[in-house]
């Protein structure tokens, strides 16, 4: 099995268990210190019973009640994995439907025309029916209803539901982590310390970039297909938790440029056209300690600061539409114990030193935090997950924000629970939106 597959499959549990241990130790230290000054009874109240969430990122605007339960307009379909089930909900009727009742895991993804939705090692029709098994992690073609799926023995299969299954990369090749090019004509994949490409028509293989000595983890192609963004796994789970090198390679020449250190979260990187926007890594795994937002563009890929790091506000999670970013943000802190994020949602132009604007009404109630902001296809709405923290996890409810009316809409659907690791919620690994 490739290192990249092992990291995705095993690391979250190892990291969460590490977090639980650190939190237990931290709580004992805090309790002992407070007990010495105030007595045991006061210490127990302070550590276990007191709400220490103190506010949101700097800016005006108080909490607002939801104005409706459903947007009532066609904004596409959202899929989410929860407790082994895979469900979908549309924004016009807001009636969740469960497609897979047990055994679903991983990040869902929609086929090009929305007829199918995949999950880790499987896919199912959005109209319902029996789920189908896949040999491993897979990616949909952006131009046809075809999956590129990694096999257990290091090959890549092309799977067209109801039509054909074809070997693209032979088994035994050590291939994994497939990613389609935007034109659908090739599939990039990891092989050893390099990223390779396979031509969909004839299977011709070509090395794109060698990441030696690190292990490359493909993220995505630029929209024009000229570049591929990837991370370098440093062959250490602990080092990777504090950040990995984020690089971009020219697909034609193989020339790679290091951009920054980045936490491995899919909602920490977004394309704005062919400009890359990303969350800067200020505090390692503690993503509440003052992270910022930056952008980088070809040909130099020189980072430019959009929202500065190291301040009183910690910027977290980013999505882009029409040159405007939507980001979540909360007060900078050590997030001890976990669950003090209290993030609200902001918009900001994807350009250096821009001014952020709070989305009024997304300053959430006490003991909640607004996570995973996502633009609708027409940029009229922002979907997000209002999360209630609980130790090293949190439970979430889907809401939408009407940009023109400045109103929060929902609750639309309960999307279950996810992990929280040092202020980083894993909703992006549970949710996909076809918009």
The per-residue pLDDT for 13 is 44
pLDDT of residue 41: 31
Q: Compute φ and ψ for 225, nearest 5 degrees.
A: 75, 5
The closest alpha carbon to 139, from 108, 166, 170, belongs to 108
pLDDT band at 7 (very low <50, low <70, confident <90, very high): very low
pLDDT tens for 271-284 read 999 999 999 999 99
Tokens 């693209």, residue located: 168
Contacts of residue 36, Cβ cutoff 8 Å, sequence gap at least 6:
none
pLDDT band at 56 (very low <50, low <70, confident <90, very high): very low
Q: Out of 4-13, 78-87, 253-262, 410-419, which region has the weakest mean confidence (pLDDT)?
A: 4-13
For residues 353-381, average pLDDT: 95
Mean pLDDT confidence for 326-333: 96
Q: Give 133's strand partners.
A: 122
Q: 368-418 pLDDT, tens per residue?
A: 999 999 999 999 999 999 999 998 999 999 999 999 999 999 999 999 999
> What 3 state SS string does the chain have?
CCHHHHHHHHHHHHHHHHHHHHHHHHHHHHHHHHHHHHCHHHHHHHHHHCCCCCCCCCCCCCECCCCECCCCCCCCEEEEEECCEEEEEECCCCCCEEEECCCCCCCCEECCCCCEEEECCEEEECCCCCCEECCCCEEECCCCCCEEEECCCCCEEEEECCCEEEEEECCCCCEEEEEECCCCCEEEEEECCEEEEEECCCCCEEEEEECCCCEEEEEEECCCCCEEEEEEECCCHHHHHCCEEEEEEECCCCCEEEEEEECCCHHHEEEECCEEEEECCCCCCCCCCCCCEEEECCCCCCCEEEECCCCCEEEEEEEEECCEEEEEEEECCCCCCCCCCCCEEEEEECCCCCCCEECCECCCCCCCEEEEEEECCCCCEEEEEEEEECCCEEEEEEEEEECCCCEEEEEEEEEEEEEEECCEECHHHCEEEEC
Q: Which residues contact 182 (CB under 8 A, 6 or more apart)?
A: 142, 221, 222, 223, 224, 225
Residue with tokens 């979260």: 265
| Mean pLDDT for the chain overall | 87
Residue 133: pLDDT over 90:
yes
- Cα–Cα distance, 236 to 239 (Å, whole number): 5
* Contact indicator for 119, 107 with CB cutoff of 8 Å: yes
Average of per-residue pLDDT across 123-130: 97
19-34 mean pLDDT: 48
Residue 67 pLDDT? 66
Say what the alpha-carbon torsion angle 170, 174, 176, 180 is, to the nearest 10 degrees.
-50
More confident residue, 34 or 117: 117
Burial grade of 250 (CB within 10 A; 0-12, 13-18, 19 or more): middle
Give the model's pLDDT for residue 225: 97
Domain 3-434, second-level architecture: 7 Propeller (2.130)
Average pLDDT over residues 120-135: 96
Is the model's pLDDT at 419 over the cut of 50?
yes
Least-confidence region, from 33-37, 92-96, 197-201, 231-235: 33-37
Mean pLDDT score, 162-173: 97
Model pLDDT, residue 22: 52
Break the chain into its structural domains and give their ranges.
Answer: 3-434
Residue 123 has pLDDT above 90, yes or no: yes
- Residue 64: pLDDT band (50, 70, 90) is low
Nearest to 230 by CA among 260, 252, 186, 200: 260
pLDDT on residue 177: 96
- Residue 188 contacts residue 181 (beta carbons within 8 Å): yes
């Amino acid at each position: 099995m490739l290192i990249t597959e092992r990291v995705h499959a095993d690391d979250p549990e190892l990291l969460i268990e590490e977090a639980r241990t650190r939190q237990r130790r931290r709580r004992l230290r805090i309790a002992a210190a407070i007990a010495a000054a105030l007595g045991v009874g006061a210490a127990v109240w302070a550590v276990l019973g007191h709400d220490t969430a103190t506010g949101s990122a700097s800016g005006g605007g108080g909490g607002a009640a939801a104005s409706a339960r459903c947007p009532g307009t066609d904004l596409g379909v959202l899929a989410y994995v929860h407790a082994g089930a895979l469900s979908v909900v549309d924004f016009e009727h807001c009636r969740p439907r469960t497609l897979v009742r047990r055994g679903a895991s991983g990040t869902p993804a929609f086929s090009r025309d929305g007829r199918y939705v995949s999950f880790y090692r499987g896919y199912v029709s959005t109209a319902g029916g029996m789920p189908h098994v896949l040999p491993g992690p897979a990616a949909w073609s952006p131009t046809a209803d075809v999956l590129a799926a990694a096999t257990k023995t290091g090959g890549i299969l092309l799977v067209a539901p109801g039509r054909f299954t074809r070997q693209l990369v032979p088994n035994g090749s050590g291939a994994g982590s497939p990613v389609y090019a935007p034109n659908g004509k090739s599939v990039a994949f990891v092989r050893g310390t390099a990223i390779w490409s396979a031509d969909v028509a004839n299977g011709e293989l070509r090395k794109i970039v060698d990441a030696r000595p690190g292990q490359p983890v493909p993220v995505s192609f630029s929209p024009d297909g000229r570049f591929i963004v990837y991370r370098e796994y440093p062959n250490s789970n602990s080092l990777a938790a504090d950040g990995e090198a984020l690089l971009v390679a020219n697909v034609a020449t193989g020339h790679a440029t290091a951009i920054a250190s980045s936490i491995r979260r899919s909602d920490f990187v977004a394309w704005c056209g062919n400009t890359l926007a990303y969350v800067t890594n200020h505090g390692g795994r503690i993503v509440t300690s003052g992270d910022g937002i930056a952008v980088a563009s070809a040909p130099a890929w020189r980072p430019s600061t959009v929202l500065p790091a190291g301040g009183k506000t910690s910027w977290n999670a980013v999505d882009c539409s029409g040159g405007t970013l939507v980001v979540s943000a909360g007060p900078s802190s050590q997030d001890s114990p976990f669950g003090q994020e209290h993030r609200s949602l902001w918009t900001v132009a994807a350009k250096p030193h821009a001014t952020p604007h709070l989305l009024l009404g997304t300053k959430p109630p006490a003991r909640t935090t607004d996570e995973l902001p996502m633009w609708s296809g027409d940029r009229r709405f922002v979907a997000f997950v209002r999360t209630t923290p609980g130790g090293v996890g949190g439970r979430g409810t889907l809401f939408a924000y009407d940009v023109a009316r400045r109103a929060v809409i929902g609750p639309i659907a309960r999307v279950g629970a996810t992990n929280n690791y040092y202020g980083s919620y894993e909703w992006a690994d549970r949710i996909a939106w076809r918009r």
